[in-house]
Amino acid sequence: MIQHLDPWTFINGAYAVSALFLAGASLLAWRRLRRASAHLTQAEGL
Amino acid sequence: MQSKQDAGKLPARMELGRRRQSGWLHYFANPGRFVRFARPVLPWLAAVSALLTVTGMVWGYVFAPADFQQGNAARIMYVHVPAAWVSMSGYATLALCSFFSLVWRHPLADIAAEEIGPVGAGFTFVCLVSGALWGRPTWGTYWVWDARLTSVLILFFLYLGHIALVRGFESRERGYRAGAILALAGVVNLPIIVFSVQWWNTLHQGNSISLSGSSIYPSMLYPLLVSTLGFYLSFVSLVLARMLAAIMERKTSSLLLANAEHDA
C-alpha cells in the first residue's frame, strides 16, 4: 500500500532547520564579536 | 637551445614573479590590514546577505511553482542546494587556507581555516538534514548509503575532524599543522561528491545546473540563485565576523600578557 505523506511537514522542517542554523550562527558570531571588542577596549585601557 | 645568458635570466624572472606573488599574499594576509578592511564591510555584508537569504527562502517557499513531478516537496531545493554548494565551496576555501598556512605560514590563513570549520560544518549539517527531509516524501526514505549522500556525510566528518584537530593540541601551531594536512587530504572528497551522480548509479538525481547551462525552468531557477547568493554571503559574513573576533581575542591576550610581564 502506498503511504501518502504530507510534503509540507518536511518542507517546514527543512526551512526551520535552515532558518534556525542561520539565525543561531549569526547570533553567536555577533555576541562573540561584541564580547571580543569590549574585552579589547578594556585591555587597551589598562 | 638556451644560451648561458637566457639561462641566467629565467630564474631571475621567476624570482621576481615569486616576490611579487609573495608581496601580494603578505599584503592581504596582514591581520591589522584585514581588520581595517573587514570591520566597516561586515555590517553591510551581513545586511545584504540577510536580505538575499530571506528573499530567496520566502520566494522558494511561497511564490515559486511546485514541480510537476515532485510537487511541493521540491521547495526544499531552495535551502538544500545552496547549503550543499556552500558546504563544498567552504571546504575548498578551508583547503586553500590550509595550503597557504603550510607553505607561507600566514597567521591569517590559520585563523581563517579555524573559523571556516564550524561554519562549514553547520552548512553541511543543514544540507544533510534538508536532504533527508526531501528524501522521505520523494524516495520514501530519509537515508540510503548512496554515493552522493555518503560522500557528503564524509565531508561533514572531515569538517568535524578539522575542528577537533585544530583545537585538540596544547600547542596551537601543531593543531594548525595537523588540521591543514587533514584539510588538504580531504580535498579528494570534493570531486567524488560532484561526480558521484555520474560515476555511479545513485538514487540522488543528477546535476540540474552546470557551467554549460541549467535544466531548471526560470521561475524556479531565479529564487534558487537568489537563495544561493544569500547563503554564500551569509557564509562569508559569518566567517569574517568570527575571524574578526578571533583576531581581537588574540590581541587582548597579548596585551594582557604584556601588562602582566610589565607589572612583574
Residue A36, chain B, CB below 8 Å: the answer is yes
What pLDDT sits at residue B135? Answer: 94
Closest partner residue to B251 among A8, A22, A40, by Cβ? Answer: A40
Q: Is the pLDDT of residue B253 over 50?
A: yes
Q: What is this structure's pTM? A: 0.89
Residue from the list A10, A18, A43 with its beta carbon closest to the beta carbon of B137: A10
Q: Which three cell numbers stand for residue B204?
A: 540522488
Specify the 3-state DSSP secondary structure of A2. coil
Residue A1, pLDDT > 60, answer: no
User: What proportion of chain B, given as a percentage, has pLDDT over 70?
Assistant: 89
Domain ranges of chain B: 41-206+214-263
Name the most confidently modeled range: B150-154, B197-201, B205-209: B150-154
pLDDT score of B2 more than 50: no
pLDDT band of B11, cuts 50, 70, 90: low
pLDDT value at residue B34 = 87
Predicted pLDDT of residue B4: 45
Q: How far apart are CA B44 and CA B39, in angstroms?
A: 10
Mean pLDDT for the stretch of residues B99-123:
94
Using a CB-CB cut-off of 8 Å, the residues of chain A touching B122 are: 21, 25
Work out the percent of chain B whose per-residue pLDDT is above 90.
69
How many angstroms away from the CA of B141 is the closest CA of chain A? 12
Cα nearest neighbour of A46 on chain B: B259
Averaged pLDDT of chain B: 89
- Report the range of poorest mean pLDDT among A11-20, B36-45, B48-57, B155-164: B36-45
Contact: B252, A40; criterion CB under 8 Å: yes
Sign of CA dihedral B81, B87, B89, B90: positive
- Ramachandran bin of A35, using left for φ above 0, alpha for ψ from -120 to 50, beta for the remaining angles: alpha
Share of chain A above pLDDT 90, in %: 80
Question: Which spans in chain B are helix H?
Answer: 4-28, 31-58, 77-104, 107-139, 147-167, 172-186, 189-199, 218-263
Q: At residue A46, does pLDDT exceed 80?
A: no
Question: B155-176, pLDDT tens digit by residue?
Answer: 999 999 999 999 999 898 999 9
Mean predicted confidence (pLDDT) in B121-135: 97
Work out whether the CA dihedral B60, B62, B66, B70 comes out positive or negative: positive
ipTM above 0.95, yes or no: no
Mean pLDDT within B72-100: 96
φ, ψ (nearest 5 deg) of residue B71: 70, -145
Mutate to test the interface with A, among B55, B80, B130 (most CBs of A within 10 A): B130
Using CB atoms, which residue from A10, A22, A32 is nearest to B234? Answer: A22
At a CB cut-off of 8 Å and minimum separation 6, what does B227 contact?
B52, B53, B56, B57, B59, B60, B78, B79, B81, B82
Q: Give yes or no for residue B8 having a pLDDT over 50.
A: no
Residues in chain B within 8 Å Cβ distance of A43: 251-252, 255-256, 259
Given a cut of 90, whether residue B30 has pLDDT beyond it is no
Query: What is the average pLDDT across A5-21?
Result: 96
Residue B13's pLDDT is 53
**Predicted confidence (pLDDT) at residue B152 exceeds the cutoff of 90:** yes
For the cut 70, the answer to whether the pLDDT of residue B19 exceeds it is: no
Q: Does A10 touch chain B (CB under 8 A)?
A: yes
Cβ proximity of B225 and B51 under 8 Å: no
pLDDT at B21: 55
